[in-house]
Amino acid sequence: MGQRIQPSRVVTNRRLRLPRMAAVAAFVLGFAGLSAHFAVSQDGSRPVTRTAKQPAKLQLISAVPIAEESEALIDLASINRSEVIGATAFEAHAQCYEDNPFPSAKTCGVCHPKHFREWSVSPHAYAQLSPVFNSFQNAENILLHGTLGDFCIRCHTPVGMALQEQKGGSNLDRHPTAREGITCVVCHRINQPNGRGSGRTNLVAGGENQVVFGPTGNTHFEDVLADPDKYGVIKTEKDETVRGRDGHAQIHKFFQLGTSGFCGQCHDVLFPLGFRLEDAFSEFKSSPAARKYKLNCQDCHMGKIEGKPSGFFFEPVAKVGNAESPPRRRTSHFMAGPDHSVIHPGLYPHNPDAIREVDEDETHGLATMAEWIQFDWRKNWGSSKFEQSKPKDYQFPTAWEDPARRQKARKILNQQFRLLTVYKKKRIEVLRNGFGMSDVQGMHADEKGLHFKVNVVNLTTGHGAPTGFDGERPIYLQVVVWDRNKQVVFRSGDLDGNGDYRDDHSFFVHNGKIPRDRQLFSLQSKFITRNIRGGEREQILPIPYSLNPLNFDRPALRPFTPLGRPLGARKHKQILEPLGNRWAKYRVPACNLTGNGPYYINVRLMAGMIPINLVKTIEFTGFDYGMNAREVADAITRGQVIVRETGAVFNCHEE
Amino acid sequence: MHARRTNYTSLLSVALLAGAVIGTPRFASAQSSVDDAFSEPGINDVITLDDVPPAPGGGTMPEPLMPYDGEAEGEYYTADCFAAEGESWLDWHGVPEVFEHPDANPGYEHSYFQEHELPEEEPELAWKVWEKWMEFLEMPHEPLVEISEFLTRAKHDGTVFTDPEHSWVSGEPKGIVPIMDRPPLIIEYPQKFLGQGTIPEGVELPTGAIWRPTLWVFGSNRFGVSYRDDQVGLGQAGFNFGSFVNRLALFGQLNFTGTERIQIGIRPTDEEEGRPLLTGREYTSHFWKTFTSGGGGRTNLDGLDGWNGDLNVAYFEGQLDEIFPGIDPFDTEMLDYSFSVGRQAMSFQRGLLVNEDMIDAVTVTRNTLYGNGNLNLRMTGVFAWNRLTRVAPLEPNTRAQMYGLFTESDFRYNTMNLDVGFVNDPNRTHRDVLVAAVSSTQRLVGYHNTYNSRFHALASFPTEGEGVGTAFMGSPGNVTGQGELFFSQISVTPHEGEDLIYWNTFVVVDQFTSLARAPQAGPLGDTGLLFAAAGLGLYGPPLATVTNSSVGTALGYQIFLDTKNQQIIYEVGAREGKGNDNFEVAGAVQYQRAIAQNWIWLISSFMSSRKGTDGLSTGLRTEIQLFF
């Protein structure tokens, strides 16, 4: 029922005689009350007070290498950083690697192979390698006349930005650790809570012997250090005269690493202009998961099962030589999401056996990134079948003329495929734990046609579904109805020539080539930009170019909190709220029916990474790794997965 | 006046509009809980997927790509499969050998259609009429595109789409395009604004928050040359002048975190508290054609001096749980209250309800709330205690106070704003007013195109009788009036291109009074260029924007050229108010283009005719904007 304002409550021609202070107090109390109402409306109860022992005041810990702890409290982090970064940014690669302020995940993987393997195929590891991301931020920077700066890429390669690398350009030219995106040091070299900083975090610099930060501190590591007979000598400082395995100087406990707020420092993306691009963390804070069940992000996204609280592994977290460390809680580092790789499988997942730098020999990896791009994996180079049947005059690039090298590459690729396959399973796992779908229901026929509906449910308690970059997440229903002669009588959620569903962003629809899908069910939020006049309209990119021809971003000139957004752009959320559901109702028009019933219904809940119209919109910037837009688009379309599926038979009498 | 009757009418009209939208079944359907998501009994013939025969197209009904086995407790990939054993620590066990990329063969065919093979359903009559009307409005678009291309010698953005391949994603290889450098701010120390480099260590506050104080100074400058020749009748306001005018805005921001900051701003060349000229602000100007104005006595000027050091903006903005992280260390409480306090600009209902560029206020906001059908609710409470502009263009009221609750919520099909505010004004002439507003923004999906729409309904209720005074632009009216404002904005983007055709209309019943308004313009500036002041000098709106018993409309065509670096707007509009001689009609053209990285050049002109006056009113202005 619609809400109605009660006219009788309005006082006319009479001065409201509330004392001023009372009015202010009432206003504040009323606002707080309303907020509380919405806060509890989801689960119907107020949050209980946390009974767990709350931590003492958060302690700021300086990043002092253990070797220098006895000296005065010098901020070595900043000193090392400035010196070493200067070297890495402007001097030769070789020196950079020797004195690396931000060690590669490969270094960590020596003792933490499980963590590395999971991370290596995770969205975090793909963050900077993604050609779509790079072209997207290039396009935004061009359209905003350079004022976007490092806003996007700061989250995707904090190491690269700390090293003052260029924002654009190819990943082939980046520092190896910068290419790793959200690599080990991005989380484990943070010693201060950064709040909702949109990824602008300070990384503590230093080599692999530097202090790292973890959720539990030094206890277990001390056990390893105390048992050299079992684990060998661990070098906690850089000393060429000592033989042993490199290890951390210390592991400092950083309480916030285990909280949702730590994830929130990147997963609430608030542009300085006030645009809320992503607010997964804010959604979480209003959710039953936080308020009722007292969960945190890690419970669902770093546990045994992706996407729901399922407990953690209890096992060794490190393997030093052949000895495993004492078992304890171990978190999964898959952290699967809807994204998937579209790039050459030699480049991703991260594989130390695969990649070497230009100035390294093959003991460091089989081939450089540039060489891998030349390797035609689709033609099965290196496989027995290909090698035995290839024409004699087959031309290979110089780097791959050696058949033994091709076979090595093929072996590595098979490892990559296996890992990608596992990740795909994890991706489907997290999606299926996020989305539910009912059977086909409500079937009936009338003079307007056949009617049916399905219910799509957000199964999570922690955030909307989809969440994060929901303005570009195609989660939708693909529906086909056909008769007994297999003649299709209805489609929704079908894709246009590019691979987009037929909404207003489809270029085929926009250009009037095919009709819009008027019954499309999609959970993709929409970027809305303000028109100079005439309200607002949806756009693929949230840049309000109708307002003026020069979009030039600076900090907001007014508080952005009262509106929760800037004046020029916003996001119209279409997501399912936690535990929310929405009916998708369909009608097969009577004019489409053939009289050849029964009619069969197939409904799939599909999940894609991004819509292809985004690829087309940013294609003017070019794509990395020599890819063209069509290749990227096809890979994205092929990567769509069926999250849920159902079907039904519609028996009806037709006259 | 029958204040009581009309008050009830106004309330009912607002309530009915709100109720009609909120009560729509589609919203009700979204409000069912998860518990009954699957509870509706299936009607007969609901069967499982296994019973469905092969799908058309030669394929079989696909299975999900990978049968999900994670639902049963304990069935998951363990990390053991990555055990570091064997010849390489990259080998892993427990997972079958895979020789193909998992996406190489998705297991199902995507249904690509360039041409849709299914018959199209006949639209309903209402849609037929509506789309015919919109097609009629679109008719001038194509000739205007040709005119624009001729005038600018630039290529229309739509013309790049005339290539038959234009809908397709390109298969042409293309190198990475370099991006331009970030334009620096005037001052950015120690951190650059969105610049590369290390983020420094933060300073820990006693509250536990980590702040990284950084100073940023930036701003913009607008320099314009204007000519205006208004033909006015007896007792009507008007402008006649030619001037050079400048507007400089400088901002300093002390940034602490992503959510906390202090910002101050000055506009040293224009002053809000200058002499109460017709546009409220006094811009530093030189008149090369002596200024005269009609209406209630004439004023002659050779220049204006608006130099000042007033703080136009001075506020702190932050978030409670970010400033006091210790009160919710586990992030499980809803303490993310955002607030701002100080002198700030403020706008609600697109300026129809509140349109202030300088008001002293405190705001408290909750964001990202959901439930009960809301997908994303924002609630803002406002208390303003100073500089409330109620009587444009007179100086702002320093005694009136405003209380308001403003909300915005996303639903499945639309975004709704429900707002209510009250002004408590000790000035016995102006008096108190309660204003309520509702608006809905949505895209209407037609059969041939999608139509952007936004509808507002606002009503003002004087709680102690109507206040009298000069409402706006010298026209007589009530400062606090009873009335309603209905405002609609509709636009469409024609196929092929990003152009915009808009058609905006307002109807004011009696004397609608907004809560607060910028001194330069009334609340109707969103109707069109013809209803908006330039915001630079005395160049006011070509058509009157008095909000008492009037109706107005504007039809505009915005055409983008040169990959959106240039744009032209053609607009026609009309307004009719009370009285026999209060009909006006006007046309305007505005051209803008971006120059280099941070300049805009604008030129705009209009021509209008007013019933009861001889000749045409004309105006021409050009402007250079610089951002730094």
CB atoms within 10 A of CB B159: 14
Per-state percent for chain B, helix, strand, coil, to nearest 5 = 15, 40, 45
**pLDDT tens digit sequence for B478-519:** 578 889 999 999 999 998 889 999 999 999 998 888 898 776
pLDDT in the model for residue B303: 83
Q: Is the pLDDT of residue B9 over 80?
A: no
**Range among A72-81, A361-370, B50-59, B566-575 with highest mean pLDDT value:** B566-575
Q: Cα torsion for A253, A283, A285, A157, to the nearest 10°?
A: 20
Assess if residue B43 is contained within a domain.
no
* Mean of the per-residue pLDDT values of chain A: 83
Euclidean distance between CA atoms B394 and B470, whole angstroms = 9
Q: Is the pLDDT of residue B271 over 50?
A: yes
How far B365 CA sits from the closest chain A CA (Å)?
A: 6
The region of weakest confidence among A155-169, B295-309, B427-441 is B295-309
- β-strand pairing of A488-492 with B483-492: unpaired
Q: Do A421 and B102 touch (CB under 8 A)?
A: yes
**Range among A107-121, B210-224, B384-398, B503-517 with highest mean pLDDT value:** B210-224
What percentage of chain B exceeds 70 in pLDDT?
Answer: 73
pLDDT in the model for residue B356: 87
Q: Is the pLDDT of residue B47 over 70?
A: no
- Domain extent, residue B457, equals 187-627
Secondary structure class of A388 (helix, strand, coil) = helix
**pLDDT tens digit sequence for B278-297:** 556 788 989 887 776 654 44
Assess if residue B131 is contained within a domain.
no
**pLDDT tens digit sequence for B347-369:** 999 889 998 888 999 999 999 99
Stretch B388-399: mean pLDDT: 68
Q: Looking at per-residue confidence, does B621 or B357 come out higher?
A: B621
Euclidean distance between CA atoms B137 and B572, whole angstroms = 12
- β-strand pairing of B338-348 with B354-371: antiparallel
Euclidean distance between CA atoms A568 and A574, whole angstroms = 19
Nearest residue, CB atoms, A414 vs list B97, B257, B340:
B97
The region of weakest confidence among A488-497, B87-96, B586-595 is B87-96
- β-strand pairing of B500-511 with B483-492: antiparallel
Sequence-ordered list of residues with C-beta below 8 angstroms from that of B491, at least 6 positions apart, any chain: A531, A533, A534, A535, A537, B451, B452, B453, B500, B501, B502, B503
The tokens for A162 are 């700390």
**B452: chain A residues, CB-CB within 8 Å:** 531, 534-537
Euclidean distance between CA atoms B509 and B374, whole angstroms = 32
Q: Is the pLDDT of residue A44 over 60?
A: no
**A437: chain B residues, CB-CB within 8 Å:** none
* Mean of the per-residue pLDDT values of chain B: 80
**Range among A46-60, A599-613, B80-94 with highest mean pLDDT value:** A599-613
pLDDT in the model for residue A478: 92
Q: What is the CATH number of the domain that holds B569?
A: 2.40.160.10
Q: Do A515 and B594 touch (CB under 8 A)?
A: no
Place of tokens 């209630």: B296
List the beta bridge partners of residue B460: B435, B483
Q: Do A638 and B104 touch (CB under 8 A)?
A: yes
- β-strand pairing of B311-319 with B338-348: antiparallel
Euclidean distance between CA atoms B350 and A118, whole angstroms = 49
pLDDT in the model for residue B476: 45
Assess if residue B48 is contained within a domain.
no
Q: Looking at per-residue confidence, does B435 or B39 come out higher?
A: B435
Q: Is the pLDDT of residue A153 over 90?
A: yes
Q: Where are the domains of chain A?
A: 341-432, 435-525+573-650
pLDDT in the model for residue B111: 55
Residue type, A295: L
The DSSP-derived string for A276-328 is EEEEHHHHHHTSHHHHTS---HHHHHSSSSTTS----EEE-S-EETTEEPPPE
How far B290 CA sits from the closest chain A CA (Å)?
A: 31
Assess if residue B159 is contained within a domain.
no
Q: How many CB pairs under 8 A join A and B?
A: 693
**pLDDT tens digit sequence for B242-259:** 999 999 999 999 999 999
Q: Output the 3-class SS for A540-592.
A: CCCCCCCCCCCCCCCCCCCCCCCCCCCCCEEEECCCECCCCEEEEEEEEEHHH
- CA A116 and chain centroid, separation: 18
**pLDDT tens digit sequence for A323-333:** 888 899 999 99
CB A625 within 8 A of CB A128: no
Using 50, 70 and 90 to split pLDDT, how confident is the model at B382?
A: very high
Q: At what angle do helices A629-638 and A131-143 cross, to 10 degrees?
A: 130
Q: Looking at per-residue confidence, does A25 or A574 come out higher?
A: A574
Euclidean distance between CA atoms B430 and B397, whole angstroms = 10
User: In angstroms, what CA-CA distances link A651 with A248, A454, B108?
Assistant: 69, 18, 26
Euclidean distance between CA atoms A111 and A115, whole angstroms = 9
pLDDT in the model for residue B544: 81
Q: Looking at per-residue confidence, does A172 or B431 come out higher?
A: A172
Q: Is the pLDDT of residue B139 over 80?
A: yes
CB A548 within 8 A of CB B592: yes
Assess if residue B3 is contained within a domain.
no
Euclidean distance between CA atoms A601 and B43, whole angstroms = 14
Assess if residue B514 is contained within a domain.
yes
Q: Do B502 and A581 touch (CB under 8 A)?
A: no
pTM of the model: 0.86
How far A192 CA sits from the closest chain B CA (Å)?
A: 7
**CA atoms in the 13 A half-sphere facing the CB of A603:** 27
Using 50, 70 and 90 to split pLDDT, how confident is the model at B545?
A: confident
Euclidean distance between CA atoms B419 and B440, whole angstroms = 12
Residues in B 400-429 with any Cβ partner in A closer than 8 A: 401, 403, 405-406, 408, 410, 412, 415, 422, 424
Q: Do B346 and A12 touch (CB under 8 A)?
A: no
Number of domains observed in the structure of chain B = 1
**pLDDT tens digit sequence for A588-636:** 999 999 988 889 999 999 999 999 999 999 999 999 999 999 999 999 9
How far B289 CA sits from the closest chain A CA (Å)?
A: 30
Task: Give the ipTM.
Answer: 0.86
Assess if residue B46 is contained within a domain.
no
End-to-end CA separation in angstroms for chain B: 53
The region of weakest confidence among A109-113, B51-55, B254-258, B262-266 is B51-55
Q: Do B502 and A534 touch (CB under 8 A)?
A: yes
